[in-house]
Chain A
């Protein structure tokens, strides 16, 4: 069967099981948009290519399937660099197709030419420039394989216009042959046994669960391990929902804005069981002073993570689910032989910390709305399996802190790169992937202004997401740092509460817009928003600009110095 490169590309995507893609056409990608008309693939037309990338990320977060985006060459390709980098940092499987000027014109500074493969090399797991239409099925197959296996990540396929127009004989490759790519997923049996021995002899163990648990679909295995060993679990920003917050063994989020107990339990631990986590600086604080007495078991599918920041005592390369399942078996054998250690003292200590240093804020009656109160109200008045999506900054931290995550894949956010403007498009992508679920974006006013135009996409495509703007009229996290570390010298952080008018803006984009000024109106407005299912909703919550995120460990400081906040009295330490 003779096909054009463009037809082969669309057919290859169909063969890969792609149901939806996010994109925006343009000159160089025109040939590929033509066969899309006859394709079974749904295309969501975005308003900016960055939106396409973040939507694909949100889709991948929520479904576990690779997100697919397609844009044209030059400026479109550079616009999607941010989502690629974001997905690279957070190990999100993404396949991005970009148009390219004709292969014969490459290197001539042709119209809308950019060295897309060169530009995206550092922010993709791998990328391809297609030079022959006959290579398209093979490359698409390889691209999906690389994106979704091992440590997942974004890949990019750059398709020159003349290659898309050229004829080829259709085939579908039986298998993928990449001699330099063989991820090791099965953990080393001897190391797993050694890990089980360490777990069973620890007195102050903590499981440090990272985003890898979710990528590996290992939430159940994690629960089995924690319950078998009776070991408490911290869930990092990327792992919220990997272990239920209501579980008695759950300590919640560690790190810079983690809760006191999660931070301190890690700090005092004699064993850290790191599962799909990468010892990010936001978790460890000053590395040399992090968990000084702890031995470390480190499980990761990416061998380069083992020993990158902290040298593990027991390194295990492998898929988190496969390794943890084996670890459960090995631990059972270990317990049968030697009995279970007595962790009562440690459990008592943890309970004391929990009782003494809970998350705390005060919502005065009739006062301005506290952002934490908004998050709690949303949490308490939405279904248990609601997908919550955040941008980056204070609102993100409050949402991670105050939401109660009971299920995996209910939390979508930009962790590693910290991409402001992530929430709106990512929420749209999540809703496309999980249309039956309620999707709420909790956003900041600064973030919202970066990508809000994608709500036009949501309205046009009937994707009823809901957006709660915690509008404090500031770039809040920056303001917090200037207040605490720059002697209240506020430099370029004020945004204004009513410029733009968020309600009118929302309405102009085909959404329902609502404003809430008092704490009493918070819950009724959320309930009203929950009733609307035929269009997106935006709520402008006017929140207290003075509110800061606590607890906090100052950047570069050790995790021994947790600042608890004013509710805990003088200095809050």
Chain B
């Protein structure tokens, strides 16, 4: 997705000068109009609109893409091995050799942050994807079948939503023990209820539409209607929701690791780095501030991107 957006950005650079002359009121009106017309715009057009109108969202996409690259190519990008200890170099101030200094075991903080991006991005993307897949299937079933199925699924969702998500994750961590893999599982299982609610409400309105009735009348199977006809129409909301759910998963991992019940040493998890640096807060503040700032940047970028995507893809989601 980042790739198409950077490509789009190149294409619209030329038209930007013209658009710059139109005042903001006009652009807003256009946006509202295109939101009303909704369906008629292609995905590409919508992303172009976002890049044009929401520079911050586009910029965030670029930043995230760069962080993603850094995470994938961490061994190449990182100046040092993130696990290599050097007790003679411990707790060094930031310098040319160590841009963000070294930690209490003499490990290069910048390298650890780069490797930590792997953990945060994986935790942000994969469990969110899994929990949203669960939520989507349950929401589709609840909305489409209605009746008892709907009742049971939605009461289950009510119970899940009643939990504060951090506490729920903590309970799961108690059961399964600490460690990144278990956070991975905990976050996959815990966060499906919000998605289920939104997909259900969209399914409820979509299943009354003519195209579903048409599909039904020619005898298309229920599952095919659900996944081929209704699901694609939920996609814009799901993409926005996905982008906005990623930061909360990243924050959950960081929080659990910060509390000492998540990632275990010597993992380069940002939350774990922050809590280990806390001991040296008053002498070497960057030890905990640098990884925390990394979390903030990634979370903020996803939030900006999510807001931007929501404005163009799904203006109605804001109401929910």
Interaction A to B: no
Task: Point out residues on B near A: beta carbons under 8 Å.
Answer: none
Task: Point out residues on A near B: beta carbons under 8 Å.
Answer: none
